[in-house]
Amino acid sequence: MRDLWPWLALYRRHKGMLTLGVILAIVTLLASIGLLTLSGWFLSASALAGIAGLYTFNYMLPAAGVRGAAIIRTAGRYFERLVSHDATFRVLRHLRVKTFSSLLPLSSASRASIRQGDLLNRLVADVDTLDHLYLRVISPLVGALVVILVVTFSLSWIDLHLALTLGAILLLSLLLLPPLFYRAGKPAGEAITAQRSIYRQQLMEWLQGHTELTIFGASARYRAALDESEQRWMDAQRRQAELSALSQSVMLLLTAVAVLTMLWMASAPPGGSTAPGALIALFVFCAMACFEALAPVTGAFQHLGQVASSARRLSQITRQQPAVTFPARSAPAPADASLTIRDLTFSYPGAGEPVLRSVNLQIHPGQRVVILGQTGCGKSTLLSLITRSLDPQQGDIQLSGHGLREFDEATLRASTSVVPQRTHLFSATLRDNLLLANPAASDDMLCDVLTRTGLQALLEGDGLNAWIGEGGRQLSGGEGRRMGIARALLHDAPLMLLDEPTEGLDAETERQIINLLMETTRGKTLLMVTHRLHGLAAFDHIIVMDGGEITEQGNHAELLAKRGRYYQFCQRLSPVTEP
């Protein structure tokens, strides 16, 4: 239950509308109780009055009361639904914004513990589940408590003994049943939340990996595991449905007990006095109507375990603190880019050995530098530190004389163009995919950058309106890398960072990409990490990394003359060392 408290603060942002919704719910319940109570008394009193009552009984006033109560109930129910659901949707909007805003600043390492399918499930299903907190718990509970007090006070003017008895039955039901059904429904609610997440994760993986599952003949086994997860989810839902039926049965039983008690006590009042006549029907029908206010409460509290479980899962995201924070005020954006790295040391959380050890590096404006090393030597981690996706435990990185921590995020991103190892292409047009880097770019600029990067063939047919497809399915690997470079050129930042831009490409395409980089990045500071040797002689400076340390650096000729690690690499791959 403690997991719900942080989320109640969001409800306070709309306390006016939520309070109005509770008031309308109370008015609707009182009108419903008044309608049934007055109707029962009116019919009984009319029957007792008989034909003689045409001259002695006031038929008009109770009839007007019945009509008024019916109109108030109908109007109250409409406006209560309108206000409550509008307020709930507003709260859900803030819930999603709060959850997503807490997720965005987290690094990829912080999000690694949550699988993508589970993350999507938390952002959608778990947030939706929290709307039960107001609609099914807070509003019915407050409404039931107020109705019990109002009904008991009102009936006490007619018969104090009967009013207190009915009020005691209603209050005991309100105090005992919700906690009882909360404890009974908690295991099923938590199971529903957990199994829903597991099933949706497996379903997403099955859809994404269907080709591989079919190729290796594992589709049937994976489908069987999916069916098993679905069955466990349905079993949890069945247990909750059975509990809902039990709660309704208990409420019907308590309603019958309350009605019989009122009938017995009203027909044989203490002291042996005469029966109160038509007032018997008033108390009996009032007892029946009052349990309408209690019925939603017991059913709601059995879902509270599911709501608390969803709140706990969302809190696992919102309670995480971002590993990197940016200042409100920024150092000035650099016109040209130089990089200075001093005594840089970095370790991933929980890792035994540091990934980078006392790295020192100086890159001058306009210089083209490549970092060479085997997989796992720390090259990509160094790029993550330069872009401030991560912060080092020791050392400093300066961009044009200012520490990276002095730049706000917008200035740092505007000063850096990044070509990641995997370029993500959205299911949109060619134009839309390019405008991500520069929304103000004209069509002529887009066509020019496509031509410069060797993608002019994409302009045939529909041109910039050509549909790329999800993940760039219609593009080859080389075209996808060129799209990443085209975006970086449109971004037009003084510092360009490239992470394995030729990985997975054939030798000819790799040569074309390297030549393209040399032609299109003149005047920019270029830093590329790779573990391949094609075209490295064209770079101004080559840095060799091993085990998180810089072991060699210099230009192509200098490193070959040293006959060190770079020389050994070139000897093993001598046929492809020339640019």
3-state secondary structure 333-359: CCCCCCEEEEEEEECCCCCCCCCEEEE
What's the maximum distance between 2 C-alpha atoms anywhere in the chain?
125
Rounded-to-integer distance, Cα 451 and Cα 449, Å: 5
What is the model's pLDDT at position 228?
92
What is the model's pLDDT at position 51?
67
Helical H segments across 303-402, by residue range: 304-318, 379-386
Residue spans of the chain under pLDDT 50 = 271-275, 575-579
Same domain, 296 and 345: no
Domain assignment present for 331: no
What is the model's pLDDT at position 82?
92
Please report the sign of the dihedral spanned by the C-alpha atoms of residue 539, residue 501, residue 496, residue 384: negative
Same domain, 309 and 370: no
What is the model's pLDDT at position 108?
64
Domain assignment present for 334: no
Helix (H) or strand (E) holding 362: strand 356-363
Same domain, 179 and 299: yes
What is the model's pLDDT at position 575?
46
Same domain, 229 and 345: no
Rounded-to-integer distance, Cα 438 and Cα 416, Å: 13
Name the token pair of 298: 């017991």
Distances (CA, A) of 187 to 29, 208, 306, 401: 31, 32, 8, 58
What is the model's pLDDT at position 388?
87
Same domain, 278 and 182: yes
Of 283, 318, 353, the last residue of a domain is 318
Domain assignment present for 323: no
Which residues have CB under 8 Å from 514's CB, separation 6+?
502, 534, 535, 538, 579
Rounded-to-integer distance, Cα 369 and Cα 161, Å: 92
Domain assignment present for 194: yes
Rounded-to-integer distance, Cα 513 and Cα 558, Å: 24
Of 252, 283, 318, the last residue of a domain is 318
Same domain, 223 and 312: yes
Same domain, 312 and 347: no
**DSSP structure string for 51-112:** TTHHHHS--HHHHHHHHHHHHHHHHHHHHHHHHHHHHHHHHHHHHHHHHHHHHTTS-HHHHT
Name the token pair of 430: 């060619």
Distances (CA, A) of 407 to 325, 384, 391, 401: 10, 16, 13, 11
Of 286, 318, 350, the last residue of a domain is 318
Strand-strand pairing, 356-363 and 339-346: antiparallel
CATH number at residue 507: 3.40.50.300
CATH number at residue 113: 1.20.1560.10
Domain assignment present for 330: no
Same domain, 372 and 288: no
Domain assignment present for 300: yes
Name the token pair of 573: 């791959």
Rounded-to-integer distance, Cα 3 and Cα 314, Å: 9
Which residues have CB under 8 Å from 155's CB, separation 6+?
162, 163, 166, 167, 283, 286
Same domain, 47 and 127: yes
Rounded-to-integer distance, Cα 243 and Cα 184, Å: 8
What is the model's pTM? Answer: 0.69
Name the token pair of 11: 């409800």
Same domain, 290 and 394: no
Other beta carbons within 10 Å of 186: 18
Measured in whole angstroms, the distance separating CA 100 from the mean position of its chain's CA atoms is 5
Domain assignment present for 113: yes
Per-residue pLDDT tens over the stretch 129-187? 887 777 778 888 888 889 889 988 988 888 888 889 888 998 898 888 888 888 888 88
What is the model's pLDDT at position 273?
44
Per-residue pLDDT tens over the stretch 233-280? 999 989 988 888 888 888 888 888 888 888 888 776 554 444 466 777
Same domain, 303 and 364: no
What is the model's pLDDT at position 488?
86
Domain that residue 300 falls in: 2-318
Residues 542 and 500 sit within 8 Å (Cβ to Cβ): no
Same domain, 90 and 147: yes
- Domains identified in the chain, total number: 2
Rounded-to-integer distance, Cα 528 and Cα 502, Å: 10
Please report the sign of the dihedral spanned by the C-alpha atoms of residue 90, residue 91, residue 97, residue 101: positive
What type of residue is 16?
A: G
Domain assignment present for 470: yes
